[in-house]
Amino acid sequence: MTKKLMEPESVGAVQANNDANELSPFIQTSPAGTDIGAAVAPAPAFPGRERRKKPRISETPPAPVPPPKLDDYEPIIGKAALDEIRFLAASLHGKKVKMVNSTAVGGGVAEMLNRLVPLLGEVEVATRWDVITGGNDFFELTKAFHNALHGAEYHLTKEGRELFLMYSEQNQQRMAFEEDLVVIHDPQPAALVRARGGNSHARWVWRCHIDLSNPNPEVWGFLRPMVEQYDAAVFSSPSFARQSSIPQYLIYPCIDPLSEKNKELDDSYVQKVCDDFGIDRSRPIVTQISRFDRLKDPVGVVQAFKLAKQYVDCQLVLAGGGASDDPEGDIVLQEVKAVAQDDPDIILLNLPPWCALEVNALQRASTLIVQKSLREGFGLTVTEALWKGKPTIAGAVGGIPNQVIHKLTGALVHSVEGCAYQIRYLLTHPEFASQLGKNGREHVKENFLMTTNLRRWLLLFKILSGTTA
Ligand code: UDP
């Protein structure tokens, strides 16, 4: 995140007050040069702006919170579910597991491993987490692989293949594979499976977090022979998998209900965040939290909001981040501003990535949550919204239909008009909306919490190691 993101785009009173330890996340929805962030800005036609103060957001990430213990989950999932986890783990005591991925911080995989690895250790399934290394050339190549596996055009050259295998060989040389179960996450370290030769009793799993339903044939053609040397592959959604000669398993991604992003919050904190951001809790709040990315369709969300607002009073909060890391993010943001115009009920927030508590508060303050994606991975923002019991309207793409069962745990939409209709319908049918929210929370509790994820990994380890108990 560069400094640019952290600085207010507005001028005048906000800048005069500027404190090096504060960030202003506001983005102007008004024409350049007018001040949206300042509480003192005289804008009587737009009372929403006058409410907006300058929130205090740290310029640096907060210190990490110690990971929770298994017992901390008891109030959420109950003792029986914890007993089941311990029972499953008992027959694996003494087994050793290794997880390998390509980054220790940033991204959903690292976030999940950060929780999963200590929990496995706590149930005495000793788990080591290794991260592969590589030069910029390697990560540029694997980023291109990532896009190509999502279907992008790409020509894989001989040099590209050699570079990939060369870095894999280097990593293989400095890593030992003595564990009973080795789980390799995603394509970057996939070629490490070539190291399995000597250790015949070990079971190797390829955990694919990306949607492989429509891969670029050249890249998949290169990776497939490696993938088929594993004992099993694990996908995040049935629709993400591919035909393969090895067994395939489903393990959904998950959220941690005790993380800063998802833990219960005092209402006073939720109120403070709303006050800071100029959000009026006495009126309905419709929110989408997402990177400013065309595939998240923020422009479509604004259009749907504007259509719905002709019939029902509401405010729209579009909170995102990462715009300054991603050149396209800036362009998308300009597109959003252009369509939002100077509507004081559209609140655009550009938050640094460590604002988990603020995101949590914004989700909790919302009347409805929207995730109008046009393409999606699993869609963890949807999981987060459902967990907070929020009526959720989401695009029927990627892993979203696994989470949002239409008219049962939320509403699936396919167009701007459909989204507008659902916003209007759910805001005017609060009992139905509330029931969707309750069902959505139960669905997440059953399927998409860290504890369910832990249970599924233990089950898979038992299956693969042939342990019965
Ligand atoms: N997120 C965030 N701040 C933002 C935008 C997104 O913390 O400004 C988080 C969001 O809460 C979720 C994750 O980033 O945990 C996005 O995951 P998702 O699977 O929804 O989409 P992705 O960005 O990976 O495509």
Query: Does the C-beta of 388 come closer than 6 Å to ligand 1?
Result: no
Kindly state whether residues 411 and 315 are assigned to the same domain: yes
For a pocket test of ligand 1, which of 381, 382, 402 has the largest count of ligand atoms closer than 8 A to its C-beta?
Answer: 381
- With a 6 A CB cut-off, is 320 part of the ligand 1 pocket? yes
> Does ligand 1 lie within 6 Å of residue 290's CB atom?
yes
The answer to whether the CB of 393 falls within 8 A of the CB of 370 is yes
Structure tokens at 147: 């896009």
Instruction: Name the residue of 291, 336, 375 whose CB sits within 8 Å of the most ligand 1 atoms, as the mutation to test its pocket.
Output: 291
Residues 146, 451: Cα–Cα separation, whole Å: 28
Q: Is residue 246 domain-shared with residue 303, that is, in the same domain? A: no
Task: Give CB contacts under 8 A, 24+ apart, made by 192-199.
Answer: 192/100, 192/132, 192/168, 193/226, 193/229, 193/230, 194/168, 194/226, 194/229, 196/229
Q: Is residue 398 within 6 Å of ligand 1 at its C-beta?
A: no
In a domain, 73, yes or no: no
378 lines ligand 1 (CB under 6 A): yes
Q: What is the CATH number of the domain that holds 365?
A: 3.40.50.2000
Distance from residue 325's CA to the centre of ligand 1 (Å):
14
Q: Please check whether residues 184 and 167 belong to one and the same domain.
A: yes
**Whole-structure pTM value:** 0.87
- 193 within some domain: yes
Q: Residues 175, 196: one domain?
A: yes
The answer to whether residues 285 and 346 belong to one domain is: yes
Residue 106 lies in a domain: yes
CA 265 to chain centre: 20
Ligand 1 centroid, distance to 329 Cα (angstroms): 14
In a domain, 5, yes or no: no
Domain match, 161 and 209 both? yes
Q: In this structure, is residue 190 part of a structural domain?
A: yes
Same domain, 301 and 431: yes
Residues spanned by the domain of 328 = 12-39+258-447
Q: Specify if 61 maps to a domain.
A: no
- 12 φψ region: left (φ > 0), alpha (ψ -120 to 50), beta (else): left
Residue-level pLDDT, tens digit, the chain, 469 residues: 332 222 222 222 222 233 333 345 665 443 333 222 222 333 344 445 555 556 777 788 888 888 899 999 999 999 999 999 999 999 999 999 999 999 988 778 998 999 999 999 999 999 999 999 999 999 999 989 999 998 899 999 999 999 999 999 999 999 999 999 999 999 999 999 999 976 678 999 999 999 999 999 999 999 999 999 999 999 999 999 998 999 999 999 999 999 999 999 999 999 999 999 999 999 999 999 998 989 999 999 999 999 999 999 999 999 987 645 466 788 898 999 999 999 999 999 988 888 999 999 999 999 999 999 998 989 999 999 999 999 999 999 999 999 999 999 999 999 999 999 999 999 999 999 999 999 999 999 999 999 999 999 999 999 999 865 5
Residues 134 and 208 occupy one common structural domain: yes
Residues 245 and 264 in one domain: no
Residues in the chain: 469
Q: Does ligand 1 have an atom closer than 6 angstroms to the CB of 379?
A: yes
CA distance 412 to 404: 7
Ligand 1: nearest atom to the Cα of 371: 20
Instruction: Calculate how far, in angstroms, residue 183's C-alpha sits from the geometric centre of ligand 1.
Output: 24
Whether residues 434 and 290 share a domain: the answer is yes
The answer as to whether 141 is a domain residue is yes
Mutate to test the pocket of ligand 1, among 1, 289, 295 (most ligand atoms within 8 A of CB): 289
Tokens at residue 195, please? Answer: 């190291």
- Are 109 and 180 part of one and the same domain? yes
Question: Does residue 1 sit within a domain?
Answer: no
| 306 and 220 within one domain | no
Domain count, the chain: 2
